[in-house]
Amino acid sequence: MQRTPLDDSLKVTRNQPTLREMVLDKLRQAIMSFQLLPGDRLVERDLCDKLGVSRTSVREALRHLEAEGLVESESSRGPRVAVITLEDARDIYELRCVLESMVVQLFTQKATRQQMAEFDHAWEILKAALRSGDTVAIVNAVSDFYGVLYEGAGNRIAGQFLSQLQARVNYLRATSVSQKERYVDSFKEMTKIVDAIQARNPEAAHEACVEHIKAASKVALAALAEKQGKAVDPITPPLNPAQSLR
Amino acid sequence: MQRTPLDDSLKVTRNQPTLREMVLDKLRQAIMSFQLLPGDRLVERDLCDKLGVSRTSVREALRHLEAEGLVESESSRGPRVAVITLEDARDIYELRCVLESMVVQLFTQKATRQQMAEFDHAWEILKAALRSGDTVAIVNAVSDFYGVLYEGAGNRIAGQFLSQLQARVNYLRATSVSQKERYVDSFKEMTKIVDAIQARNPEAAHEACVEHIKAASKVALAALAEKQGKAVDPITPPLNPAQSLR
DNA sequence: TTCTGTATTATGGTATACCAATATAATTTA
DNA sequence: TAAATTATATTGGTATACCATAATACAGAA
Which helix (H) or strand (E) covers residue A45, if one does? helix A44-51
B91 occurs within a structural domain: yes
Find out whether B205 and A208 touch, Cβ atoms under 8 Å: no
Q: B163 CB near a chain A CB, below 8 Å?
A: no
Last residue of a domain, which of A81, A102, A128?
A81
| CA distance linking residue A162 with residue A177, whole number of Å | 23
Task: Tell me which H or E stretch contains A117.
Answer: helix A113-132
**Is A106 inside any structural domain?**
yes
The pLDDT value recorded for residue B242 is 40
User: What is the per-residue pLDDT across A106-156, written as a single tens digit (0 to 9) for each?
Assistant: 999 999 999 999 999 999 999 998 888 777 788 788 889 999 999 999 999
B43 CA – C29 C1', rounded, Å: 36
Among residues 187-216 of chain B, which lie with CB inside 8 Å of chain A?
Answer: 202-203, 206
pLDDT given for residue B133 in this prediction: 79
Nearest to A64 among B15, B67, B109 (CB): B67
Tell me the mean pLDDT in the region B156-169. 93
Please report whether residue B215 resides in a domain.
yes
A225 part of a folded domain:
yes
> Is B118's pLDDT higher than 70?
yes
Please give the tally of structural domains in chain B.
Answer: 2
Q: Residue B139: is its pLDDT beyond 80? A: no
Same domain, yes or no, for B56 and B114? no
- Host domain of residue A33: 19-81
ipTM, two decimals: 0.87
Please tell me the predicted confidence (pLDDT) of residue B246.
30
| Residues of chain A positioned with their CB less than 8 A from the CB of B75 | 14-16, 18
Domain boundary among A34, A55, A81: A81
Q: Is A21 at the interface with chain B, CB within 8 A? A: no
- Average pLDDT of chain B, as a whole number: 88
Residues of chain B positioned with their CB less than 8 A from the CB of A203? 239, 244
Separation CA A219–CA A225 (nearest Å): 10
CB contact under 8 A, A63 and B68: no
pLDDT of residue A179: 65
Which residues in A lie closer than 8 A to residue B60 (C-beta atoms)? 59-60, 63
Question: CB of A43 within 8 A of CB of A78?
Answer: yes
Q: Tell me the shortest Cα–Cα distance from A154 to chain B, in angstroms.
A: 8
Residue with the larger pLDDT of the pair B12 and A28: A28
Q: Does A236 touch chain B (CB under 8 A)?
A: yes
